[in-house]
Amino acid sequence: MAKPHTQEEYFDVLTKTGEKTGVSKPRGDVHRDGDYHRAVHVCIFAESTQELLLQQRADCKDSWPGLWDISSAGHISAGDSSLATARKELREELGIILPKDAFELIFVFLQETITNGGQFIDNEFADVYLVTTLNPIPFEAFTLQESEVSAVKYVHYLEFKSLLASKDPEYFPYDVNAQYGQLFDIIAKRYKVDNVARSLALQKQLQRYASISLNVELAGLTDADKGALDLIINAAATIDEIFYLQIWYSNPCLRDWLEKHATTSHLDKLKRAYYLINKTPWSSLDENEAYLTTADSAIKLLPEATRPVSGWKGLEYKAAFPLQKPPGANFYPPDMDKMEFKQWKDSLTEDQQNIVSGFFSVIRRYSDSSSDLSICSSLDSTNRLEGPTNDLYNVPFSQEYSSFLSKAAELLHKAGDITSSPSLKRFLHSRADAFLSNDYYESDIAWMELDSKLDVTIGPYETYEDTLFGYKATFEAFIGIRDDKGTAQVKLFGDNLQVLEQNLPMDNAYKSKDVSAAPIRVVQLLYNAGVKGTQSVAFNLPNDERIVKERGTSMVMLKNVSEAKFNLILKPIADVCIANEQREFVDFDSFFTFAICHECCHGIGPHTITLPNGKKSTVRLELQELHSALEEAKADIVGLWALRFLALQGLLPGASLKSVYATFLAGCFRSVRFGLSKAHGKGQALQFNWLFEKEAFVLNPDETFSVNFDKVEDAVESLSREVLTIQARGDKDSAKLFLKKYGVISEPLKLALHNLERIQVPVDLAAEFPIAKEILGKKEVGI
């Protein structure tokens, strides 16, 4: 609650919908004027007894004196963060010192009350945190702040709910029939579980993945490269450790706990199996809905969290994670909002702004690391900032993940020393150096020029997990064997990018005159890391706009993954969703050719742009969290346009446009099944709905779909123009409206998805990597 201060506390003033106004006022003025402001509530829940810890408010309080309330609460002072305030209030009021992974944000609620004859107006948005302990904390362990708390007690959560529902005058009057009722609903749902039903649900989720073993022939490798492969696989496994950490800070702890307890029961075995696919407690194919809760998480012992008590080993708590997947993953403080970041970023120099919105750093708080003097003292001038919003600071990946990257760099240097391929040697050494310097430019160039039978992609690349801004890259790795015949066959696509750019369906003013030819490598995948949920069939890198502008991009096609997806997923989809007379048009060559063209088209169209005010920027920076979905839609629809263009130029002899369009239609249903939380899924929904609206796709009476070959070409071109123009203008408002209208699961899509669910067509692959498994000597690698 409120603390006595020699100088009056200031609060950030919010709008009625909870956004910061940029204004702060004294505490007394805020409550006098009824301004909206922020607060935190902390609820300590003892799992073994199902009890909530309550505190009795001190008699000297200026609001609700003497009443029983939740465990701890307090206002968030101007410039302070939510989580830091929650930790501070618990420490000051109850003498409990807990790390951030003990706090689970479960909901935010608006409390509007008027007391003291209208003199005290409390309009606050409260972040409600749940701290789950294994057992009740002994009363002797508490250190109560006398000016705030008179006493504490434990009450069963259902009894507490009943007391509030009956409006018992001794308890703070929370309305359990309104927003605050979520507290009791969440606890009840979490602990009143039918384990049989839960096991069946997990089995059903697992059945959406078709198992595939990616066993690749190594006969084409030299003995030196086989030795290098062992080291590279181990480096990739180290990179996987970083990926787990980038998703959420308690994620590695959850992974280890699930592995340790996988043999406890059938349910525990299923939980771990599904976790190995998702690498998080959130299901990729279910719009990131949580399939685990903090109740499933690791138990941690913290003896120093409270005052010591004889015969008690100390406080045991569950390592928490939120029900909703954090949009900023573990790249930003979990309680940071866009306004706070913007205010801080705007206070920096232009060079510093580029760093903090760049791919290769995380954002942290001084207040979270203030107890670690070594961290604070090592911050450089880019990190240490002065001013009213200086709680945030920047940490380069090379520092944040130094222990992992040092190990990976050592392994890559050793591999570079022994490989027989000069271009691979150059890439491995330069990438190892980049891990330690945080400068990836030269190693990205080396990767683009890679000409090796052993094909290696390793480093921080895609920004899909950063749905807050789309700035930060996750670490990943793809190790494979180059398919020389397939690589030779696809060369024409990369060689014609400049021709495609000059003929794009958009204003000439937006077209680039210096698009580079794009190298394309066809690879048989033998191991990947830093990958969750869905398996990629291809990728186009790097994403660094400087390199894209100067050198273009390079593409890698994973042919064995593409073949598995076509045979196990796309063909069964076509059998269900495509009209009988067009089903014969769906073929692998069209599927693989379109995937190549999709990746090529990432390299054309707007990247570095000039805004209407004359300022230079990039599409990624302007569209922020909307960029990924719109970029995937662009690569798809412009790829479809490009295939027709190339065919009309006589560059695709034997290609059937009818096969291209029919295979694309079947592919729409494949990608949408990834969910709208995935960039590919949302982008694909946008395309399907546009083409359906333009009557290029038709729903038949038998619930199958057809391509209207007379209308599809114009519809593809009009959508290409729309998406390219939004990107070229950096028009985030138009992008938002466009995705809101078309990036949805429409009724025709619902029908198709229902029919596919009914016959249980797999959604994606669960890959096994036997070569890597043998190299790493583990029971399991991948899935």
Residue 686 has phi, psi (to 5 degrees) of -55, -45
Q: What is the pLDDT of residue 381?
A: 43
E strands, 100-189, are 104-115, 120-133, 149-156
How far is 262 from 285, CA to CA, in rounded Å? 23
Backbone angles phi, psi at 300, to 5 degrees: -120, 140
Whole-angstrom Cα distance, residue 496 to residue 600?
Answer: 9
> How is residue 117 annotated by DSSP?
G
Residue 442 three-state SS: helix
Q: E-strand spans in 143-238?
A: 149-156, 209-213
SS3 letters for 391-425?
Answer: CEEEEEHHHHCHHHHHHHHHHHHHHHHHCCCHHHH
The predicted pLDDT at position 736 comes to 96
The whole-number pLDDT of residue 369 equals 67
Question: Which token pair is 740?
Answer: 């809101």
Apex 553 CA angle, 725 and 689, nearest 5 = 40
- For residue 677, CA distances in Å to 684, 744, 783 come to 12, 11, 22
Tokens linked to 94: 């109850």
pTM: 0.86
- Note the Cα 146 to chain centre separation in Å: 43
Tokens of 467: 């749905």
Q: Which residue has the tokens 């291809």?
A: 538
Question: b/e map of 393-424 (b: 16 or more CB within 10 Å)?
Answer: bbbbbbbbbeebbebbbbbbbbbbebbbbeeb
Residue 20 CB coordination number (10 Å) = 18
Q: Which helix (H) or strand (E) holds 60?
A: none
User: What is the predicted pLDDT for the residue at 677?
Assistant: 86
Q: Which of 411, 242, 245 is nearest to 775 (CA)?
A: 411
Q: What's CA 597's distance to the chain center, in Å?
A: 26
φ/ψ region of 174 (left if φ > 0, alpha if ψ in -120 to 50, else beta) reads beta
d(CA 294, CA 319): 7
**Given the DSSP bridges, would you call strands 72-75 and 104-115 parallel, antiparallel or unpaired?**
unpaired
SS3 content of the chain, % helix, strand, coil (to 5): 45, 20, 35
Taking residue 767's Cβ as centre, other Cβ atoms within 10 Å add up to 23
- Pairwise CA distance, residues 536 & 544, whole Å: 20
Q: Whole-angstrom Cα distance, residue 33 to residue 23?
A: 14
Residues of the chain with pLDDT under 70: 1-6, 369-389, 778-783
Who contacts 40 (Cβ-Cβ below 8 Å, separation ≥6)? 73, 74, 76, 82, 85, 86, 89, 126, 127, 128, 129
Question: Cβ distance 136 to 156 under 8 Å?
Answer: no
